Amino acid sequence: MTAASPLTASAVAERPARPLAKWRAIAGASTGNLVEWFDWYTYSAMSLYFAASFFPQADSTAQLLNSAAIFAAGFLMRPIGGWLMGVYADRHGRKAALSASVLMMCGGSLIIALTPPAAQIGLAAPVLLTLARLLQGLSVGGEYGASATYLSEIAPRARRGFFTSFQYVTLIMGQLLSLGVLLLLQLLLSTDQLEAWGWRIPFVIGAAAAVIVFWLRRNLAEPESFEKAHDKRESKASLRLLFAHPRQVAVVVGLTLGGTVAFYTYTTYAQKFLVNTAELSKQQATIVVSCALFVFMCLQPVFGWLSDRIGRRALLLGFGVSGTLLTVPCMTLLAQTRDPLTAFALIMVLLVVVSGYTSINAAVKAELFPVEIRALGVAFPYAVTVSVFGGTAEYIALLLKQAGHESLFFWYVTLCVLISLLVYGGMRDTSQREL
């Protein structure tokens, strides 16, 4: 990772002042975000097929449990990525951090795509899988803070909720495209082919797309607020400077806790839940989750637009109250259904609920911090919280299922959302703050 070149007059001239230019900048940042999350979620989507290649001596639940443990391990690198890339973005520019993060994701995906199965190289296979996932975790940890900060700073204040909602549009689109590729492979290949080699194809696609996005991101302009601050002084962003703002850090942790557990439960874990508990076929589960995610993706700008009208806090409170009341009944019914349409309706209820968090969380976090530590402030406490709670949600769910107490997980999710609700109740609305 090298320092970006100094900001020049030409760079200032390129910054997106016109509405069309702003949309181009947001599209450029969002496209990279899409590829990052396509690669990240491909691991989860394809684990139903590659788990046996890396962990052959186990039953299906144990194989998924091992894969989920590595999924969680990737989350452990996210705080390090948030720290390193957050400091890098605050010192050398959002564009430099965005370019570096997508290159790291490319490397992780290539390693997974090219690693031989355990039958050929033994223990080295799960070790390489873990290393690749750690690299991807480092990348995603840096990507979130840099892209959330960039989108928040490039957007007009009156439309910041709407503009920043596209971070989750592309995040969900990445997950949706990942599931779409899986669905296409399920139609074109047999189960044996998918388990033998077909699961590698999405990782190759993700790595190739990351290279293309790297070149696209090199043409992004820096936000005006960052350039003005950088012109006045050199940023000294560090964890010490970040923790000089303890209240803001605590708010980020609190507002993220329930949202991240709910999001990963209702999205990435939902596919496995439909197969492993509701006993739908793998293809049915993929179709149900894909359709639900498409609607969920379309809801993000609507909720973001609404937050610009009624404030961020109102949406967060709506998520907190609804998530606390509806998670247990919806997950209980979902476990009992064998009908794909009913499963879709139940998942959709939960996704509408969590939209009150996902659509605006980037804007809220960016609005809490001054420009000189904004990327670090958005990335690091968020990444720590996601690593501890979001990254372990699937593992806890499978562990409780294996122990015969799966319903306890529904209450765990509810408790996490309730804690965040208490934080939302004590927050001030941030939508009117200038960046």
Q: Percent of the chain, pLDDT > 70?
A: 89
pLDDT at 186: 86
32-41, 315-324, 371-380: which range is least confident on average?
A: 32-41
Q: Is the pLDDT of residue 8 over 50?
A: no
Among residues 161, 140, 177, the alpha carbon closest in space to that of 33 is found at: 140
E strands in 7-154? none
Domain count, the chain: 1
Q: What is the CATH number of the domain that holds 371?
A: 1.20.1250.20
Residue for token digits 């290279």? 211
Write out pLDDT tens, residues 312-336.
999 999 999 999 999 999 999 999 9
Write out pLDDT tens, residues 72-114.
677 778 889 999 999 999 888 888 888 888 888 888 889 989 9
Number of H helices, E strands in the chain: 22, 0
pLDDT at 180: 84
The tokens of 352 are what? 């509408």
268: in domain: yes
User: Which residues, including other chains, have CB under 8 Å from residue 349's CB and lie 6 or more apart?
Assistant: 326, 330
Task: List the alpha helices (DSSP H) in 337-373.
Answer: 340-358, 361-366
> What's the pLDDT band for 46 if we cut at 50, 70, 90?
confident
Q: Is the pLDDT of residue 29 over 80?
A: no
pLDDT at 58: 56
The alpha carbon of 82 is separated from its chain's Cα centroid by a whole number of angstroms, namely 13
pLDDT at 214: 85
53: in domain: yes
Per the CB < 8 A criterion, the answer to whether 51 and 64 are in contact is: yes
Burial 83-111 (b: 16+ CB within 10 A, else e): bbbbbbbbbbbbbbbbbbbbebbbebbbb
Write out pLDDT tens, residues 165-187.
988 898 889 888 887 888 899 88
> What's the pLDDT band for 6 if we cut at 50, 70, 90?
very low
Range(s) of the domain holding residue 81: 19-220+231-426
Q: What is the mean pLDDT of the chain?
A: 85
Residue for token digits 């874990």? 269
288: in domain: yes
Q: Residue 158 gets which letter from DSSP?
A: G
User: Which residues, including other chains, have CB under 8 Å from residue 337's CB and lie 6 or more apart?
Assistant: 278, 343, 346
Q: Is the pLDDT of residue 11 over 60?
A: no
Write out pLDDT tens, residues 388-435.
898 788 889 989 988 889 999 999 999 999 999 999 999 989 888 877
What is the rounded average pLDDT of the residues 124-138? 85
> What's the pLDDT band for 15 if we cut at 50, 70, 90?
very low
pTM for this structure?
A: 0.81
The tokens of 368 are what? 């809490």
431: in domain: no
One DSSP character per residue, 262-299 reads: HHHHHTHHHHHHHHHTS---HHHHHHHHHHHHHHHHHH
Write out pLDDT tens, residues 197-231.
999 999 999 999 888 888 878 778 788 777 777 65
79: in domain: yes
342: in domain: yes
> What's the pLDDT band for 63 if we cut at 50, 70, 90?
low
226: in domain: no
Q: Is the pLDDT of residue 13 over 70?
A: no
Q: Residue 55 gets which letter from DSSP?
A: -
Write out pLDDT tens, residues 254-293.
999 999 999 999 988 888 899 988 888 888 888 898 899 9
433: in domain: no
pLDDT at 72: 67
